[in-house]
Amino acid sequence: MKIVHATAEFFPYAKIGGLADMVGSLTSTLSDKGHDISVFMPGYQEVFKHPDTMLATHPLPLKTEGATVRVFSPRKNLTIYLLCNRMFFDRPGIYGNDGQDFKDNDRRFMFFSRGVIEAMRLFKMQADVVHCHDWQTALLPMLIRHVERRYGVTLATKTVFTIHNIAFQGKFPIQAFDRSDLPDAIPGFPNLEHDGQVNMLKGGILFADQLTTVSPRYAGEIQTAAFGCGLEEVVAMNAHRLVGLLNGIDSTVWNPISDVHLPAHYSIDNIHGKYVCRNELLKKLSLEPEFRGPVFGMVCRLAEQKGLDLVLANKEFFFGETRLIILGSGEHRYEEALCQLKDAAPGKISFCKCFNEGMSHLVEAGCDFFLMPSLFEPCGLNQMYSQVYGTVPLVSRVGGLFDTVTDADEHPEDGTGLMFPPTADGFEDGLIRALRLFEEKPRLVATQHRGMQKDFRWANAATAYERLYQNSLRTTSPPKEKYDTAPLHQ
């Protein structure tokens, strides 16, 4: 198949979170399977730190001055198109800087969507599937059909739109379209109004041929008021086109047998290297190595979603026979609170206000338990990494965490972690259960081994996307009128 992906992030060129990993791994796996893959992404400043991006440049016929597309192929069957514009992307950061979003993100990503279409026209692309990711590309399904009708061309047989996190919707003032580089009077624009604002994500939900999100449970959750962030009715009305597909992990990068970031390798047959990693981790962070208790780790963006308030509500637990390591950056209030927590228990609690790829691997390998007390979690990757690395995940009973972790107390024969409701009391109960599991060494080792046997490789996840694309291509296309007359109040 000829498959086009449009994304705001793509590993290894530009990454903020799991979106970059997902698109990078999925497209690489699909290209290895022989599909013809094209990826469109913005030409951010940081992308050009990679030497393979300095290739052919083509001008684009857009109103915005200086619009170009740069093309390169990092591997067989995979071509990357960088949409470049000095005004929008030649700056540090992807979505913002110093904890603040860029004020022109509406114009930046409207330009990006329009640029994808003009580049497809320039290179005469006719894709089987155009797969769009999150609000930054959510206008594309609608724009593709508009341009096809206007110019009598075929750009995509089917469009797919993935909601990676419904909390991020691309909401802007109604006047946003007046400042955009989009064509005038595109039918369907009124449908993007939601609560008095333009809502980009809503556009993707309404106009894509197929909707996906990143776990089966999350697909159900976002149809409820508790998780839908105001769009639950819109999602529910289009649920017949929605499917939840779990992400995978890149086993060439995340594998304790070969991980280049670890001081020692290990496997289910010889786990000694894990204890070497544990000692090295404690030594690097100047944490006391002699405690009998477990080491808890957490690597995340410091945001309310990740359950930092639950950790802080249970801070006294970590003053006992434990050690706690938190790696990440984000909201200032959490950075400040975690610094104070570290100062309150030197030698027992470590907080590293940064994101370091090598250290994140060492935390996964060197800890006994990995904490993910998320209030919501569309899919999550760290709970998968943890299981593969023999680190027992302690997770909230939400989203992809629920779909990928089996509670060892509830299911002693096949449990791989511990689960709890996302409340302060629920998290406290999970921590107490973790101490109990740690003391029962045969049960702990059995839980670790079952986790290390799990197969989360992208080869499996990509097969599910192949089937989705193929099934979508077999179905009858919706009437073209859909793109003109979708109900205004969906």
Q: Give per-residue pLDDT as tens, 353-374.
A: 887 889 999 999 999 999 999 9
Report yes or no: 335 and 361 within 8 Å, Cβ to Cβ. Answer: no
Point out the least confidently predicted range of 102-111, 176-185, 247-256, 426-435. Answer: 176-185
* Angle between the N-to-C axes of helices 441-452 and 424-439, in degrees from 0 to 180, rounded to the nearest 10: 110
Kindly state the DSSP code that residue 176 receives in the 8-state scheme. G
Q: Residue 482's pLDDT is what?
A: 47
Phi and psi, residue 107, nearest 5°: -65, -35
Nearest to 405 by CA among 426, 423, 387: 387
- C-beta neighbour count of 52 within 10 angstroms: 11
Please, which contacts does 224-230 make with residues 24 or more away whose CB atoms are closer than 8 Å?
Answer: 227/166, 227/376, 228/166, 229/166, 229/167, 229/169, 230/169, 230/194, 230/195
CA distance 318 to 330: 22
C-alpha 210/C-alpha 476 separation (Å) is 12
The class (CATH top level) of 2-248+460-485 is alpha beta
Question: What does R_g of the chain's alpha carbons equal in angstroms?
Answer: 23
Q: Give the domain ranges of the chain.
A: 2-248+460-485, 272-452
- Looking at residue 361, what DSSP letter applies? H
Query: Does residue 456 have a pLDDT over 70?
Result: yes
**Does position 184 have pLDDT exceeding 60, yes or no?**
no
Report whether 206 contacts 483 (CB < 8 A). Answer: no
In the chain, what percentage of residues exceed pLDDT 90?
Answer: 80
Give me the helices (H) in 208-331, please: 216-221, 232-237, 272-284, 308-313
Residues in the chain: 490
Quickly state the pLDDT bin for 486 (edges 50, 70, 90). Answer: very low
**399 Rama sector, left if φ>0, alpha if ψ -120 to 50, beta otherwise:** left
Q: Which of 135, 132, 59, 47 is nearest to 89 (CA)?
A: 47
Query: Beta partners for 352?
Result: 327
pLDDT score of 484 more than 60: no
**Range name among 56-60, 76-80, 419-423 with the lowest pLDDT average:** 56-60
Is the pTM higher than 0.85?
Answer: yes
Phi, psi of 225 (to 5 degrees): -65, -30
Helices (H) and strands (E) in the chain, counts: 17, 20
Pairing of strands 210-213, 323-327: unpaired
Q: Which CATH code, of 3.40.50.2000, 3.90.1310.10, 3.40.190.10, 3.30.390.30, is assigned to 272-452?
A: 3.40.50.2000
pLDDT for the residue 54? 62
Residue reference for tokens 């291509």:
473
Residue 193 has pLDDT above 70, yes or no: yes
Per the listing, tokens 């059995």 go with 446
pLDDT bin (cut points 50, 70, 90) of residue 477 is low
Q: Give me the residue label for tokens 């939400």.
A: 398
CA 204/CA 81 separation, integer angstroms: 21
Mean pLDDT of all residues in 88-108: 91
Question: Do 2-248+460-485 and 272-452 share a fold?
Answer: yes
Best CA proximity match to 161, nearest among 221, 112, 110, 210:
210
3 by DSSP, 3-state: which?
A: strand
d(CA 5, CA 19): 12
pLDDT bin (cut points 50, 70, 90) of residue 297 is: very high
Q: How far apart are CA 98 and CA 406, in angstroms?
A: 38
Q: Three-state SS for 45?
A: helix
What was the pLDDT predicted at 181?
54
Torsion of CA 465, 25, 136, 191, to 10 degrees: 10
Q: Is the pLDDT confidence value at 59 over 50? A: yes
As a whole number of angstroms, the distance between CA 129 and CA 157 comes to: 6
